[in-house]
């Protein structure tokens, strides 16, 4: 392609066949640029979605830790309440 372009630069008259080739190359170039721009746009969207997902995971991990701590406190309190109830029942039985 490079050689063909150099040859065309040297011509004073460009044959119709060569003009058609130039037009075809220009059209291909435009299509390639459109594809590149669309790929770039899709990449930006993907990066944005990835970052949002990371933030959501961090948020959910924090919530999960808070729920786990709260559940552990509830279990501790219930265990204590059961123990107290058992002690009272044993005291009533004796």
- 8 Å CB contact between 12 and 18: no
Question: Whole-angstrom Cα distance, residue 59 to residue 67?
Answer: 12
Show the domain range for 72.
Answer: 2-93
Assess whether pLDDT exceeds 80 at residue 48.
yes
| Mean pLDDT of all residues in 2-29 | 82
Split into its structural domains, the chain has a count of 1
pLDDT level of residue 40 (50, 70, 90 thresholds): very high
Residue 93: per-residue pLDDT = 64
Assess whether pLDDT exceeds 80 at residue 41.
yes
Task: Tell me which residue has tokens 């944005």.
Answer: 48
Between 44 and 13, the higher pLDDT residue? 44
């Amino acid at each position: 392609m490079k050689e063909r372009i150099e040859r065309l630069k040297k011509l004073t008259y460009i044959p119709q066949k060569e003009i058609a080739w130039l037009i075809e190359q220009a059209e291909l170039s435009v299509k390639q640029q459109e594809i590149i721009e669309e790929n770039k746009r899709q990449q930006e969207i993907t990066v944005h979605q990835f970052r949002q997902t990371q933030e959501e995971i961090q948020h959910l991990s924090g919530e999960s830790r808070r729920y786990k701590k709260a559940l552990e406190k509830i279990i501790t309190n219930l265990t204590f309440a059961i123990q107290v109830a058992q002690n009272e029942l044993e005291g009533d039985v004796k």
